[in-house]
Chain A
Amino acid sequence: MQKEENNTRRDFLKKLSLGVGGSVVALSACNSPQFDDFLQKNFKTLSKEDIDEIVLNLEKKYTEKYGKQFSVSGKPAIDDTLFGYALDLSRCVGCRKCVYACVDENNQSRDPQIHWIKVLQMEKEKGIDFAHADVHYNPELVPEEGRFYVPVACQQCANPPCVKVCPAQATWQESDGIVVVDYNWCIGCRYCMAACPYGARNFNWSEPNEPDEEINPITHYLGNRPRPKGVVEKCTFCIQRVREGKYPSCVEICPTGSRKFGNLLDPESEIRYILENKRVLVLKAELNTQPNFFYFFGV
């Protein structure tokens, strides 16, 4: 009786170890890209060589999949740079050009629809009041009398609640202040969405859907590369543009010049001029998220 039990357990363990060992050998031998993906380490711990290889493989994969030459950058933060953004509430007219420029630049899903920027219409009488803000306004002409507009995207907080709650360390803040998501590490739990007080994070409930011909093939690993189903995505200040020195695409499209961007550590920058000379506010300052996204009154 006793012997039989021992045998059973021993047998089981033997078989188990054989099985596990065998499958590890088999899997490592097969060397498939999916398997590499699966075993990929956290992006923050990768060496430069690892990143270069991963990025190269992704370029190959996307180029095949979408039928156009893709570039995927793994470019790290520029030294002595902390990105800041300022939006002129006295000039924004609520035209939503930024929303769709962002969608195009950053390969957001068209259907189901994902918008990283949400333009909130508010009443001048009430001031900044999220409870009564309207994101679906659609008059013949903007701006409407007695209304003002507050475009909201990721505030790139210096004290980001979304990063704190992530159980997988799949989202973090880079040294240039951009809060990024590694889509390979995101497990889709959406804790970060619950933690974000600005509604700035978006979830891919299904496979993102974008016409191939509209896909922007100039991408960054931590930004606008094509996302899989089941991951969270958000504004990255157009990481693929700003780390090359360009302005984010919302800055370039804004017809009223309401959007300003620059290096907070450079005393000569536009953003520093605003902080030093204009009336500036941050959204929900009482939550101590310390946004690097400022709103100001240019007049």
Chain B
Amino acid sequence: MKDFCNKTRKIYFIKSLIILSLFIGCNKKTPVKEDIQNHVISNSENNQNTEIAASPPPFSDEYIFPCSECHAEMEVNTQPRLLEMHEEIVESYNHDSENRWCLACHDANIRDSLRLASGKLLDFKESYKLCGQCHGDKLRDWKAGIHGKRTGYWNGKKEYLLCVHCHDPHSPRFKKFKPDPPPVLEKDTITKSK
């Protein structure tokens, strides 16, 4: 599980970095803070505040964030186009790619922020709200603890993962991977004992 998640995390992190760095941003802001551990799901239907973020959004603990470091110097161009920068994301991008591009989710001006369809800016640690704009049924199940994984206590404090901990937001479908070994065949056991 750890390997699996770390890998996804790393890939996403690198990709998001690259894509963001292409755009020209303004102010240098760092919306993702260290206090993520205390972040609880807002608008949760079961208002017990027992759901705690298991870990920060999957890039903040590594290098490239904040995106504004590069984008601060660049001019804003809101014209949808194929980017030469952020090559990896462009290649793997598979998330309604016909109709959407970077600025469907990333804010053009505040580079270190996401943006809802309403124009409202959104912190990366609340990215599930952004995903929920289209995937409302998944968001509903996720809030109830049915979609995605919760760890911790069945009768108490639970830790949740963000959508992007498991799904690469630029290519959300799960990637296939090698299963752990099958159980030993009985005939193997017999051969071995001989």
Using CB atoms and an 8 Å cutoff, list the residues of chain A in contact with chain B: 78, 93-97, 99-100, 112-113, 115, 118, 135-143, 242, 245-247, 251-257, 260-263, 266, 268-270, 273-274, 277-278, 298
Determine how close the nearest CB of chain A comes to the CB of B113; give it in whole angstroms: 28
Contact present for A247 and B154 (CB under 8 Å): yes
Contact present for A273 and B153 (CB under 8 Å): no
Q: List 25 A-B contacts (CB under 8 A).
A: A93-B176, A93-B177, A96-B181, A118-B183, A136-B182, A136-B185, A137-B179, A138-B182, A141-B176, A142-B176, A142-B177, A143-B176, A246-B152, A247-B153, A247-B154, A252-B149, A255-B1, A255-B4, A257-B147, A257-B150, A263-B155, A266-B155, A273-B145, A277-B144, A298-B141
Given contacts A257-B147, A270-B146, contact A141 B178 (CB under 8 A): yes
Check B46 for interface membership: any CB of A closer than 8 A. Answer: yes
B interface, size bucket: 20 to 34
The proximity string for B residues 41-66 relative to A, scoring 1 for CB distances below 8 Å and 0 otherwise, is 00000100000000000000000000
What are the residues of chain B within 8 A of A245 when measuring CB–CB? 153-156
In the bound complex, CA of A95 to CA of B154 (Å): 24
Contact present for A135 and B178 (CB under 8 Å): no
What are the residues of chain A within 8 A of B152 when measuring CB–CB? 246-247
In the bound complex, CA of A140 to CA of B179 (Å): 7
Check B166 for interface membership: any CB of A closer than 8 A. Answer: yes
What are the residues of chain B within 8 A of A298 when measuring CB–CB? 141, 146-147
Task: Tell me the nearest residue of chain B to A137, going by C-beta.
Answer: B182
Closest A-B pairs by Cβ, 3 of them: A257-B149, A141-B176, A96-B180
What are the residues of chain A within 8 A of B147 when measuring CB–CB? 257, 298
| Majority SS at the chain B contact face | loop
In the bound complex, CA of A137 to CA of B189 (Å): 18
In the bound complex, CA of A260 to CA of B146 (Å): 7
What are the residues of chain A within 8 A of B77 when measuring CB–CB? none
Contact present for A96 and B179 (CB under 8 Å): yes
In the bound complex, CA of A262 to CA of B146 (Å): 11
Check B151 for interface membership: any CB of A closer than 8 A. Answer: yes
What are the residues of chain A within 8 A of B182 when measuring CB–CB? 96, 135-138
Contact present for B185 and A94 (CB under 8 Å): no
Contact present for A95 and B180 (CB under 8 Å): yes
Task: Tell me the nearest residue of chain A to B48, going by C-beta.
Answer: A268
In the bound complex, CA of A72 to CA of B144 (Å): 34
Contact present for B174 and A260 (CB under 8 Å): no
Contact present for B180 and A270 (CB under 8 Å): no
Known: A255-B5, A255-B166, A257-B161. 4 other contacts (CB 8 A): A141-B178, A255-B1, A273-B144, A298-B141
In the bound complex, CA of A69 to CA of B4 (Å): 32
Contact present for B180 and A99 (CB under 8 Å): yes
**Contacts of B115-149 to chain A: CB distance below 8 A:** 141, 144-149
In the bound complex, CA of A135 to CA of B184 (Å): 10
Contact present for B154 and A246 (CB under 8 Å): yes
